[in-house]
Structure formats: structure tokens, C-alpha cells
């Protein structure tokens, strides 16, 4: 039985993520309770807003060490993924250092936030099963630089990490909960991970 915990720390669009799982027939719990998060089979770490404020919310909720020590599959979404990186220029803010890369702001010549659909070129990773070069929905002004842990690439004048993976931790810059059939497939793939 899948038990999905969506981390609630005051910086995520948790309801749309929960609705996405409901559409897949999966019940999830929105929680900031560390025991509920630790006992779940799968954990979603969402995020919307400013990195520094989001990190402060995590600290206040006592969730930094909880997240860093999770052993089950964890999926960071948008700002959630960025907070799993070493650091971000937004703030600037030190991240949880799960992904060995930095988050930087798009070039001043580019319109930000970058909003809309873009194809993701994926590497051979189970998260992207049946999803090579599919379109996903993005809203962001900062991006994770390409690293050895990059498993999906997108372009906005330059190539950047649309998805990252390190052991049981995964992250996507886009919003699978707002990406139609491709997003549903990605969440289905995530639930198959153990």
C-alpha cells in the first residue's frame, strides 16, 4: 500500500499536488509531522515562493534533519528541488546539500519567471520511463546548474537541470501536478520506486 506524505511547511501548493495523486487513485496526507513523513512509503517535498523564506519555514518546523535523513523515495518539486541543492542565489540561501549543484538566476536578458511548457530531454532513469522529450509545465526564475546528478535537461537559452537524482532523492524543476498526462506518468513512475 502506497502511503504518500506531502510535506507542509507553508511554502508549497500542496493542494494541487494532492489532487494530482487523487486523480491517480492514490490517497496522500499533507503533513508537517515528522513521524508521518518518516513512515510514509513516498514523500513529496513541494515548494513555491522565495527560497530564503521557505528555508526559514523548514527550520521553524524542525524539518531540515527529517528530510535529509529520509530513506524512502523523495521527490522535490520546483523550489523543493532547488532547496535540495547545495545553495541558491535566491536569498542567497544554503540548501540541504542533497544534490551537488548550485541554483542560479537566469540571465538578465531573459524574461523571468520562465513560464510555460518546455520539452525535457531525459537520461535513462526510471522516473522518466515512457517520457523522453515530453513537455512539462515550468514557472521559475532560478535554475539548477547541470551536474553529474542531472537526469533531465531543459533549455531556456542555456541548458539546465530539469531533473536531478541522488540515491532515493529526486527533484524536478517543473510541476508534474500541472503537466497533464506527462505529469501523471511521472508521478506514476515515482510511485513505482522503492
pLDDT at 3: 95
Q: What is the pTM of this model?
A: 0.97
- Cell reading at 150: 542531472
Within the chain, which residues score under 70 in pLDDT? Answer: none
- Among candidate residues 111, 106, 136, the one with its CA nearest the CA of residue 121: 136
Q: What is the pLDDT of residues 70-80, one digit of tens each?
A: 999 999 999 99
Torsions phi, psi of 120, nearest 5? Answer: -115, 120
CATH of domain 4-192: 3.40.50.880
Q: Where are the domains of the chain?
A: 4-192
Q: Just list the catalytic residues.
A: 78, 175, 177
Torsions phi, psi of 116, nearest 5? Answer: 135, -170
Amino acid at each position: 500500500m502506497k502511503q504518500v506524505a506531502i510535506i507542509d511547511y507553508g511554502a508549497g501548493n500542496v493542494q494541487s499536488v494532492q489532487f494530482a495523486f487523487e486523480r491517480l487513485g492514490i490517497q496522500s496526507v499533507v503533513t508537517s509531522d515528522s513521524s508521518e513523513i518518516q513512515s510514509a512509503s513516498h514523500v513529496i517535498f513541494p515548494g513555491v515562493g522565495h527560497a530564503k523564506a521557505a528555508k526559514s519555514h523548514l527550520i521553524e518546523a524542525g524539518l531540515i534533519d527529517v528530510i535529509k535523513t529520509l530513506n524512502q523515495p523523495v521527490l522535490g518539486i520546483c523550489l523543493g528541488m532547488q532547496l535540495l541543492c547545495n545553495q541558491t542565489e535566491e536569498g542567497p540561501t544554503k540548501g540541504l546539500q542533497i544534490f551537488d549543484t548550485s541554483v542560479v538566476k537566469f540571465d538578465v536578458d531573459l524574461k523571468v519567471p520562465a513560464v510555460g511548457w518546455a520539452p525535457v530531454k531525459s537520461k535513462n532513469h526510471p522516473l522518466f520511463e515512457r517520457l523522453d522529450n515530453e513537455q512539462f509545465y515550468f514557472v521559475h526564475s532560478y535554475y539548477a546548474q547541470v551536474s553529474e546528478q542531472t537526469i533531465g535537461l531543459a533549455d531556456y537559452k542555456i541548458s539546465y537541470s530539469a531533473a536531478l537524482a541522488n540515491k532515493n532523492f529526486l527533484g524536478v524543476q517543473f510541476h508534474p501536478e500541472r503537466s497533464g498526462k506527462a505529469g501523471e506518468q511521472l508521478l506514476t513512475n515515482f510511485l513505482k520506486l522503492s
